[in-house]
């Protein structure tokens, strides 16, 4: 990040602005820039993800999926978003007005925050703290508050049951997730996500990835993140055959769009998080970067390495997302008590076992 900052000041000083205005602009705008980039990127990714999900599900069920708006249906999500924006903002008469309107924001804003915590490349880690892994888990659990609030404030029984289910689910599935995170911390001796990625560098490509010592942990985190995201087969809070649409039954228009956006954005972020923890994050699977080999100019090859690293983490993330979609297309929904029982009786003990295995491996090595 410091390197980028110096590059940025250098770029601004080229204009020879008076009164050190270049330095001043850099100081003020530099923290804002990543935010703008991150926010814009997230929206674009969500728009693409929704289309991808529909296309992938269509592929599994032998349909064509959206193909009317734009070539290959590319603008379908955009037109859907415009439709949502144009809809009337309805607040039901019986609802708690303030909390009803607060809930979508509570669900959406933390998602934006955790998005900045992911290290996209060795330079593009916009919010790098010594405890960023812990911070990620902490902030990522805030949206559930928004869901609880939505269910409570809607004054709708379906919403209430849906939100209560969501909370029970979140509490159950966060514990194994944190214990697996602990095992990754043991392996990398750091809570900083970038350091966790850098700890996965090894002499041979791929071999250093934490998926190998903590494969069990990887599976647990994958399952837990599906549950955290309320996706099939853990989509009980929105089980449409029982609860119409769950906690967001009463929401429409932009407020619904916020929930929707948060859900898909969180899906991408969770998968990026798993990729960071277990699949070497932004590291190349070949052990070297293609831009190092292809571009002879040292400066440009360095710049392109950063973008190549972004490409690698995106590739890994999309692979995980594809797996999640595959799961959604395959499995039926679980039952409430099966769901919590699975978390407490199966996943939690297994996450202890995973921690034990990892500690033994770390001790031996």
Distance of CA 347 to the CA centre of its chain: 21
Residue 283 exposed, middle or buried by CB count within 10 Å (0-12, 13-18, 19+):
buried
3-state secondary structure of 283: coil
Q: Rounded to whole angstroms, how far apart are CA atoms 188 and 46?
A: 31
Which residues have a Cβ under 8 Å from the Cβ of 32 and sit 6 or more positions away? Answer: none
Please, which residue, 114 or 224, has the CB nearer to other proteins?
224
Please report, as ranges, the residues that interact with other proteins according to CB under 8 A. 57, 60-63, 157-158, 161, 232-233, 235-236, 239-242, 244, 328-338
* Total residues found in the chain within this entry: 365
Please, which residue, 14 or 337, has the CB nearer to other proteins?
337
Cβ of residue 65: shortest distance to other proteins, in angstroms? Answer: 11
Please, which residue, 303 or 329, has the CB nearer to other proteins?
329
What does each C-alpha distance from 192 to 132, 139, 182, 310 come to in angstroms?
5, 15, 12, 18
Please, which residue, 70 or 233, has the CB nearer to other proteins?
233
What does each C-alpha distance from 207 to 80, 219, 237, 292 come to in angstroms?
43, 18, 39, 21
Cβ of residue 102: shortest distance to other proteins, in angstroms? Answer: 25
Please, which residue, 95 or 161, has the CB nearer to other proteins?
161
Cβ of residue 314: shortest distance to other proteins, in angstroms? Answer: 27
Cβ of residue 336: shortest distance to other proteins, in angstroms? Answer: 5
Cβ of residue 60: shortest distance to other proteins, in angstroms? Answer: 6
Give yes or no for a contact between 254 and 170, defined as CB atoms under 8 angstroms apart: no
């Amino acid at each position: 990040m410091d390197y980028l900052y110096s590059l940025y000041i250098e770029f601004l000083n080229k204009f020879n602005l008076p009164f050190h205005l270049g330095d001043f602009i850099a100081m003020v705008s530099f923290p804002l820039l990543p935010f703008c980039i991150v926010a814009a990127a997230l929206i674009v990714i969500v728009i693409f993800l929704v289309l991808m999900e529909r296309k992938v599900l269509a592929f599994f069920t032998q349909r064509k999926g959206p193909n009317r708006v734009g070539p290959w249906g590319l603008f379908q999500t955009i037109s859907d978003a415009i439709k949502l924006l144009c809809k009337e903002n309805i607040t039901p008469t019986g609802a708690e007005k303030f909390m009803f309107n607060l809930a979508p924001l509570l669900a959406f804003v933390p998602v934006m925050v955790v998005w900045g915590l992911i290290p996209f490349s060795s330079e593009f880690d916009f919010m790098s703290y010594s405890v960023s892994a812990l911070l990620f888990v902490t902030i990522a659990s805030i949206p559930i508050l928004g869901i609880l609030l939505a269910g409570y404030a809607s004054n709708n029984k379906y919403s209430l049951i849906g939100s209560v289910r969501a909370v029970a689910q979140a509490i159950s599935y966060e514990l194994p997730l944190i214990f697996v995170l602990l095992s990754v911390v043991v392996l990398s001796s750091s809570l900083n996500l970038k350091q966790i990625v850098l700890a996965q560098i090894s002499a041979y490509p791929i071999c250093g990835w934490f998926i190998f010592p903590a494969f069990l942990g990887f599976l647990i985190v994958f399952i837990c993140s599906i549950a955290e995201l309320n996706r099939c087969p853990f989509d009980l809070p929105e089980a449409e055959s029982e609860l119409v649409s769950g906690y967001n039954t009463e929401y429409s228009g932009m407020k619904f769009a916020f929930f929707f956006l948060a859900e898909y954005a969180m899906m991408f972020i969770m998968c990026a998080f798993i990729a960071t923890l277990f699949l070497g994050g932004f590291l190349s699977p070949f052990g070297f970067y293609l831009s190092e080999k292809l571009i002879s100019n040292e400066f440009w090859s360095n710049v392109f390495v950063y973008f190549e690293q972004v490409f690698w983490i995106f590739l890994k993330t999309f692979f995980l997302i594809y797996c999640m979609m595959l799961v959604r297309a395959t499995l039926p929904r679980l039952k409430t008590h099966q769901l919590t029982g699975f978390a407490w009786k199966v996943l939690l003990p297994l996450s202890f076992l995973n921690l034990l295995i990892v500690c033994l491996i770390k001790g031996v090595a």
